[in-house]
Structure 1
Amino acid sequence: MIPIRETSAGVSFSVKVQPRARKNGITGTVGDALKLALTAPPVEGRANQAVIEFFADFFQIARSSVTIASGESSRFKVIRVSGISAGQVHQCLVRHIAE
């Protein structure tokens, strides 16, 4: 499982984004990062917006609770989620992997 860090600003974890994929979804891990496939192209911030929308829906929280802490112009990003604990993030990921 990937490292999930809990800070005063929320929970953060690393993601490697694969834009222009066939469908949206978590497809595995790459090193210490989740691998996230997105149909959105990496143009005009569309892939970044898709990352935020994906994790807001995935964790069932408001889009304003999900931010890209670093890596806005890179495939490797650090995602910060507020309003949810590291344990809840871990449970959601484990449940998704088990499906």
Structure 2
Amino acid sequence: MWYDESNDFVDLFVSARPASSKNEIVGVYDDTLKVKVKAPAVEGAANKELAKFLSKLFKVPKGEIRFVSGETSKRKRLRLPKSEKLMQFIEDMTA
């Protein structure tokens, strides 16, 4: 499963692809959400870009997105507060 839901937050299992031509969600592959980000994987730039992109996409404060694991790996676990946009996205992706 590419996400884990609890009462107040959702953990997303993300496969990040840095240095892409644009920020976009590609889809769900091998139980991870594949996300392309423009920033290179240098000095945390891709992680910052990923958090910023997800923050705007799901309408959650960027400061409330936490890297639970995988900060230096392509496969990451991010914890986001629940939002209407995020829950709708999960519903759409699992339908």
Which range, TM-score by smaller chain?
0.7 to 0.9
* Alpha-carbon contact 1:4-1:90 (below 8 Å) kept: no
Does structure 2 conserve the Cα–Cα contact (< 8 Å) formed by 1:67 and 1:81? yes
Q: Counterpart of 2:88? A: 91
Which blocks of at least 5 consecutive residues in structure 2 are unaligned? none
| Structure 1 unaligned residues grouped into runs of 5+ | none
Q: TM-score, normalised by structure 2?
A: 0.84
Over 3 Å off, 4+ runs: 93-96
Matches of 1:36 and 1:29, distance apart in 2: 9
Helix, strand or coil at the partner of 1:56: helix
- On the 8 A contact 2:65/2:79 being kept in 1, the answer is yes
Distance across 2 between alignment mates of 1:4 and 1:69: 13
- Give the distance between the partners of 2:76 and 2:64, measured in 1 at CA: 16
User: Where does residue 61 of structure 2 map in the other structure?
Assistant: 62
TM-score when scaled to structure 1? 0.81
Identity %: 30
Quick one: structure 1 residues 62 and 43, their matched pair in 2 at CA, closer, same or farther if it must change by over 3 Å? Answer: same
Q: Name the CA distance, whole Å, in 1 between partners of 2:29 and 2:89.
A: 18
CA deviations on 1:39-86 (whole Å, 9 max, x unpaired) are: 10000000010111011001111111211110000000001002x16x
